Each structure stands twice: as C-alpha cells, then as structure tokens.
Amino acid sequence: MKENNTANSFVSHLLNALPPSMKLSIMSWVVSKRYDAPGVVLPYSLGASPQILVILPPDELAATHQAKSCLALATHFPNAKITVVCSPSVTPFFKALGPIQNFIEYDGNNDNPFSKELGNIGKTIHESQFDACVLLDPDPKLSLLYLCGKSSAPVRIGFATSNASPFLNMQVKPSGKLQNCAERGLLVASMLGASAPKKAKWGVSKEALAELKLQFGEMKIDATKHLVGVDAFYFAEAFGFSWTKSLLDTIAQSRGSCYLYVNKEPSGKAKQWLAGLQLPVFSNLSAPRSAALVYVSSYIIAGATTFFQLADILHKPVIGIFSNSQYDAYCTDSETTRGIRFDTVADERVIDAVKQNIDVLTLQIEAR
C-alpha cells in the first residue's frame, strides 16, 4: 500500500506541472483505460440483498435533491445495503432523515484520481464488492467517474454525458423538457426498477424533537399556534433586506406565528437586521434539528435551499420562491408544494402571490 501511495504521489506531482487541459486529458485517458465498464445483459437481477453504491454530486443543493432517488432505491430493495458517497456537508442531512446510514465522504474540490485521498476512497469502494453503482451527478467530474469505475460493479448506471463512456454500462438520457433534478434522478433509479414511493418514509429523530421542544420553551414560542418558518437569511441575501421585510410584514397579517430560519451564524449588518425584526431566530441548526423544526411547522416559505427540500421530503406544506431556471430545476409539483416563479427580479407581485397562497394554506390548516 505504501508503494502505491508513493507512486500515486509521484504521478500526481508530474500531472500538476502540466497545463490544466492537458492534465485532464491524460488523466481521463488513463482512468478510462483502467476502469472500462463490462457489458451488461438486460434484464439484470441484483438479487434479494444487493450492495448498492450511490454517488452524489459535490454541490450540497444538487445532492439533497437526490434524496427521493435514494429513498426509492431503499424502498425497492428493502434488504439492500446502500452506501452513499457524498461531500461532508450532505451526510448529516441524510442521517437526519434515514433510512440510509452508510456514507463515504469525499472532497468535492478534488478532481485528481491519483491523489492520496481519492486513492484511499477508491480502495475502500473496490474492496466492498458492490453489485451496482448509481451515479446521480448529471455532469460528473473525472473524480466521480473514477470512483464509479473503482466499484467494479457489474452494473453502473448514470446520465448519458460526453464523458460517461466507458465508465457506465447503462446510461439514461432524459428528455430536454425534464429539467427537475429530483425527477431526473428518479429516472436513473428507475433503471433498477425503483420508483418514487407514494408515501414518504423519512423519519425525524425523537431526540431532536425533544431538544426542539426545550428550545421552544427557552425562546417562549407557543407551539400550539400555526408555526410559519421563513428562510429569512436566504431571502435577504437574494432579494435584499427591504424586500424581505415587506414579505415578513405580509406574513405577519396571517394568523400564524412566524420564526426565521438562518442556515448559518449571521454576522455584521445581517445580524443587526435580524435582531431588529424582533422575531424568533433559529440559526446554524444541526441537520436533525432542522428536520424537526420543519416537521413541527404548519408550513414553510423558502427558496432554492435545503430548507425547502426538507419540507418537500417530509411532505410539509411549502411555498417556494424561485427564478424561472430555479423553478424548473428544484420545484417539484405536489399536493404540498406551491411554487412561485419570477423572471428577473422578485417584486411586489411575488409577495402578493405569497399572500394568496398563505390564505389558502391557512383555510386548509384551520379546516383540519
């Protein structure tokens, strides 16, 4: 093993001295020659208890939108051992929801298959003897294709891209009209017979719910009221403080109790602005507690963030505000999802649309 690491280190040093385009071409050629996928005859059976490797994109938002594909595989293969390869920021998200608990983490910025880190990950994957590898990145870097190849799985499924061959032996080419990340991922999972479950089976930690109840008491939040979660920091960064304040003023006219969700610790002007709103702020929560917060809320108002994705996965009513391109990629039409789209700038018309949706949701909640 020491000799392999030394050789990889030497090769990596030589490659780093080359121009980026030449470096990528050489690495692609070498890796493709070593990890050519075998032919596969359809239909192919994975057996009753297969080992399945799922490789997710490095981007956190893109990765979390593949949660439904992972759930579809876990539901279709209840006795399978599913291992997810993802960036460290994505692992807590999936662990908070279950049912998948096996993870291998990688650095999304590392695209050198001859590096020590990817070499070690590749060795771990190779030794696990997976029956199938599902690559859910629509535009995978060489590093992810390398990990797919290292799986030596007889079935390797992913999107049909210019660099997918010869690493994948089953390739999916979605229609140009199908832009939604989650639906595109489900199309790949369907190659193994999996489909989106009619009822979500994601869970929320009882410990996280208990911790949240204590936090509500400390913050003097009345959990018996309609709780409305607003992805305030995202909106403030995307559309400005003034627009977000107008949105919050509109929400305040409803009969719900509003809180602000902040995905990281605010500082500077943002921290002062949030304090001036005099509303409960939940910032920098762990993934389990974020999931619990969504679970106990009446509905959520968010954008192209994991907060929206949590609500969608947990079938919690959510109002999503998206640009046209974001809407096509991230907003899944469902009974609980209400998407609002805008062309270039979110203006007062978007806030009016939010109010209309709030009125409908309030009537539905009070009718239960």
- Asked which of 138, 161, 192 is the last residue of a domain, the reply is 192
Judge if 66 and 181 occupy the same domain: yes
Query: Is residue 353 situated within a structural domain?
Result: yes
**pTM (two decimals):** 0.85
Nearest to 266 by CA among 287, 286, 281, 246: 281
Residue 357 clears pLDDT 70, i.e. is over it: yes
Judge if 312 and 358 occupy the same domain: yes
Cα–Cα distance for residue pair 251/137, rounded to 1 Å? 37
pLDDT band at 96 (very low <50, low <70, confident <90, very high): confident
Residue 11 or residue 329, greater confidence: 329
Judge if 96 and 183 occupy the same domain: yes
pLDDT band at 3 (very low <50, low <70, confident <90, very high): very low
Judge if 166 and 228 occupy the same domain: no
- Judge contact between 170 and 78, C-beta under 8 A: no
Judge if 280 and 147 occupy the same domain: no
- Asked which of 162, 192, 222 is the last residue of a domain, the reply is 192
Query: Is residue 30 situated within a structural domain?
Result: no
pLDDT band at 31 (very low <50, low <70, confident <90, very high): low
CB burial string 292-326: b at 16+ within 10 A, e below: bbbbebbbbbbbbbbbbbbbbbbebbbbbbbbeeb
Lowest mean per-residue pLDDT among 129-143, 187-201, 230-244, 322-336: 187-201
pLDDT band at 16 (very low <50, low <70, confident <90, very high): low
Query: Is residue 177 situated within a structural domain?
Result: yes
Coil/strand/helix, residue 187: helix
pLDDT tens-digit series, residues 152-163: 899 999 998 877
Q: Terminus-to-terminus CA distance in the chain, angstroms?
A: 63
pLDDT band at 307 (very low <50, low <70, confident <90, very high): very high
Expressed as residue numbers, the domain containing 114 is 45-192
Nearest to 97 by CA among 340, 358, 311: 311
Judge if 186 and 235 occupy the same domain: no
Residue 7 clears pLDDT 60, i.e. is over it: no
| Token output for 74 | 């876990």
Judge if 118 and 245 occupy the same domain: no
Query: Is residue 165 situated within a structural domain?
Result: yes
Number of structural domains found in the chain = 2
Nearest to 313 by CA among 63, 54, 68: 68
Q: Tokens 């006219």 belong to which residue?
A: 253
- Judge contact between 289 and 271, C-beta under 8 A: no
- Asked which of 131, 159, 192 is the last residue of a domain, the reply is 192
Rounded to the nearest 10 degrees, the angle between the axes of helix 287-296 and helix 206-219 is 70
Judge if 219 and 357 occupy the same domain: yes
pLDDT band at 22 (very low <50, low <70, confident <90, very high): low
Judge if 125 and 219 occupy the same domain: no
Judge if 220 and 181 occupy the same domain: no
Query: Is residue 270 situated within a structural domain?
Result: yes
Judge if 253 and 351 occupy the same domain: yes
* Residue 341 belongs to domain with CATH number: 3.40.50.2000
